[in-house]
Amino acid sequence: MTHEQYDLVIIGAGPGGSRAALDAAAAGMRTALVEKADAGGTCLNWGCIPTKFLLGGTAAVPLLQIQKKYKAAGGDVHLSLAALHQRKDRFIKGTRQNLVKQLTQAGVNFITGAASLAGPRTVVVEKEDGSSLLQFENLILAAGSEPASFPGLIPDGNCVLHSSHILQLETPPQSLIIVGGGAIGLEMGDLFARFGTQITIVEALPHLVPAEDDDIADALTKALKREGWTVHTGRRVRSLVTDEEGALLTFEDGTAIRADKALMAAGRSPATAALHPEKAGIMTDGRGWISTDNFLQAAENIYAVGDVNGRTLLAHAAEHQARYVVSRLRGLTAAEYPAPVMPSCVYGHMEVMRTGATAKELTAQGISVSVSRAPLASNAIAQSCGATQGFVKAVWATGNGTPELRGIAATGHGVSHLVGLATVMVQQRWRRENIHDIIYAHPTLDEALEAALSAPLENA
């Protein structure tokens, strides 16, 4: 067994781990980055990027279908899922190789192997050619998460799939049941609907996109139903299994539905069990999420960033947390990790965008809230695409008498493109007098954002 000493060891080469390694190496820290599978983590290999590649490659289909309804287009579009996979796989392979090259050129020791903690300052890495013992001054855990499963709802890779399985399908199923109404389920449903798959989506909570306000969820649900989706909300699932006819879902009330395939998309679980965090005095909750303090610290000289700490399961959240931790290790900040304005998007033909707080979150905190809205039907760009369903909404805190912007949400075609400007507005806590401090190009979807901010305030 080889023994090596590092200023910083990082476990997990996803967005958080890779960012931390690059920042640390640039600062002159002797850094090792350990990854058990592929550089880039879930985001690059099995999540964000492959999903968007497939959505991007099929994006013209729903827009052409709209024009067909207007009798402005005709004919059929033939898609090849296998060809899309080939293009996607080439891109991911090249990006992965470039990431490893960037890391090694920066001076990071990139180690492929399964890491686990052997003590408060020691990591063991099991590699194909033997084991290594890494001694560290500081450690960052960035091991990410994996598809969650529950009793009776365990993906088998046959007809009951998880998010990685479904990205390997070469042939679209005729019908698909999706359990989980969050981003993964909605994006996969949108993708396969473009191939003609009949989509049924099931969410145990009262509405789809459970983290969003009711009005956003209602508008999205109505649009999906108009597109032919079957939507079940507020219904719990007893079991989801493969049988001789395909996938069989049974609700708690005993009723059942069938499809050729089913996707289990009800959440993620932390990839922490194999790390043995307890050997370094690290506390975890019942599901394995690593407990961290206000400095993202899990134990002395040990930090957890990204999915493993359970705060926000988004790639850009992991990267933001990683930058903070390395800045702290370098002595550039002694402050607690800030509560950033967090943007998030659900992609597809009918998208959801949100940055900052929802109205229900602020109300639960005892904050007086008003909202202002603008329908996309009034926007020239939405009209030109024939995609006018949905709206943009601004959430204002009004308790001090002067409305202060605390959140922006939207649902509709293309609304993810509003997220950058919207995040700046919320981060700066714009007031009503700031709305026209900038010029909104015409015609753009940004004008829907301007219209929503300018609209009369209503009770939330």
For 125, the 3-state DSSP assignment is strand
| Catalytically annotated residue among 78, 232, 316, 442 | 442
Q: How far apart are CA 107 and CA 216, in angstroms?
A: 46
Provide the residue type at 383 as one letter: Q
* Selection from 385, 352, 54, 347 nearest residue 194 by Cα: 54
Alpha-carbon radius of gyration of the chain: 23
Q: How far apart are CA 25 and CA 192, in angstroms?
A: 42
CA distances from 404 to 357, 408, 422 (A): 12, 12, 14
191 neighbors 350 (Cβ within 8 angstroms): no
CA distances from 408 to 46, 233, 353 (A): 29, 25, 8
For 114, the 3-state DSSP assignment is strand
Provide the residue type at 147 as one letter: P
| Sequential DSSP letters for 394-429 | EEEE-TTSS-EEEEEEEEETTGGGGHHHHHHHHHTT
Active site residue 207: no
The neighbour count for residue 195, using CB atoms within 10 Å, is: 17
108 neighbors 30 (Cβ within 8 angstroms): no
CA distances from 299 to 278, 282, 284, 295, 321 (A): 10, 6, 11, 11, 16
> H or E element: which one contains 393?
strand 390-397
209 neighbors 182 (Cβ within 8 angstroms): yes
Residue 400: left if φ>0, alpha if ψ -120 to 50, beta else—which one?
alpha
Q: How far apart are CA 256 and CA 264, in angstroms?
A: 16
359 neighbors 369 (Cβ within 8 angstroms): yes
Catalytic residue numbers read 442
